[in-house]
Amino acid sequence: MAEKLEVERKYELPDDFTMPSMIGIADVARVTAPDDQHLDATYYDTAGLRLTSGRVTLRRRSGGNDAGWHLKRPSGGERSELQMPAKPKQRTPPPEIATQIRALTRGEPLHPVARIRTHRVEQGLQDAAGTTIALVADDIVDTESLVGAGVVQRWRELEVELVDGSPADLARIDKALRDAGARPSASPSKLSRALGPDHPKPSTAPAPRSAARRAVVDYVTAQRDAVVGHDPEVRLGDAEAVHKMRVATRRLRSTLRTFAPLLNASEGHLDHLHDEIKWLTGLLGEVRDGDVMAQRLADLLAAEPPELVLGPVQARITQLLAARTEGARRRLIAGLDSQRYLTLLNDLDALVVVAVREGRVAKRELHRLARRAVRRADRRLASADAGPAGTSRDERLHEARKAYKRARYAAELATPVAGPAAAALADRITDLQDVLGAHQDAIVTAELLRDYGLRAFADGENAFTYGLLHARQAEHGRIALAALPRARRRASRPKVRRWLS
Indicate which CATH number applies to the domain containing 48: 2.40.320.10
Q: Which among 151, 166, 195 is the end of a domain?
A: 195
Residue 500 lies in a domain: no
Give pTM, 2 decimals: 0.88
pLDDT at 353: 83
Q: Mean pLDDT over residues 25-34, rounded?
A: 95
Query: At residue 199, does pLDDT exceed 70?
Result: no
- Looking at the fold, whether 486 and 395 belong to one and the same domain comes out as yes
Same domain, 179 and 217: no
In 1-40, which positions are buried (b, 16+ CB within 10 angstroms) versus exposed (e)? eeeeeebebbbbbeeebebeebeebbbbeeeeeeeeeebe
In this predicted model, what pLDDT tens digit does every residue of 163-177 receive, in sequence order? 999 999 999 999 999
Total structural domains in the chain?
3
**Assigned domain for 499 exists:** no
- pLDDT score at 388: 79
Q: Do residues 113 and 257 both lie within one domain?
A: no
| 501 falls within a domain | no
The average pLDDT across 225-234 equals: 95
For the chain, what percent of residues have pLDDT higher than 90? Answer: 78
Report the chain's mean pLDDT, rounded to a whole number.
Answer: 92
The reply to whether 51 falls in a domain is: yes
| pLDDT bracket for residue 354 (50, 70, 90) | confident
Do residues 337 and 443 both lie within one domain?
no
HEC string for 46-86: CCCCHHHHCCCEEEEEECCCCCEEEEEEEECCEEEEEEECC
Residues 27 and 128 in one domain: yes
Tell how far CA 138 is from the center of its chain. Answer: 34
Res 110: pLDDT = 94
Q: Is the dihedral of CA 239, 240, 242, 247 positive or negative?
A: positive
Q: Are residue 74 and residue 182 in the same domain, yes or no? A: yes
Same domain, 295 and 223: yes
What is the tens place of the pLDDT at every residue in 362-421? 788 899 999 999 999 999 999 998 877 777 899 999 999 999 999 999 999 999 999 999
Is the domain of 147 the same as that of 241?
no
| 268-323 residue pLDDT tens | 899 999 999 999 999 999 999 999 999 999 999 999 999 999 999 999 999 999 99
CATH number, position 321: 1.40.20.10
Residue 266, in any domain of the structure: yes
Domain residue limits at 190: 2-195
Do 34 and 143 belong to one domain? Answer: yes
Q: How far apart are CA 247 and CA 400, in angstroms?
A: 18
pLDDT number for residue 474 = 93
CB 116 within 8 A of CB 141: yes
User: Is 406 contained in some domain?
Assistant: yes
Give the strand pairing for 35-45 and 183-184. unpaired
Give the whole-angstrom CA distance, residue 500 versus residue 241. Answer: 33
Tell me which of 168, 195, 222 is where a domain ends: 195
**Helix 313-336 × helix 267-302 angle, to 10°:** 160
CA atoms within 13 A on the CB side of 295: 7
Residues 112 and 235 in one domain: no
Residue 135 lies in a domain: yes
**467, amino acid identity:** G
Sign of CA dihedral 321, 287, 469, 448: negative
Cα–Cα distance measured from residue 34 to residue 29, given in angstroms and rounded to the nearest whole number: 16
Confidence class for position 358, pLDDT limits 50, 70, 90: low
| Final residue belonging to a domain, choices 152, 175, 195 | 195
Among candidate residues 74, 369, 45, the one with its CA nearest the CA of residue 228: 74
- The verdict on 463 and 317 lying in the same domain is no
Residues 331 and 413 in one domain: no
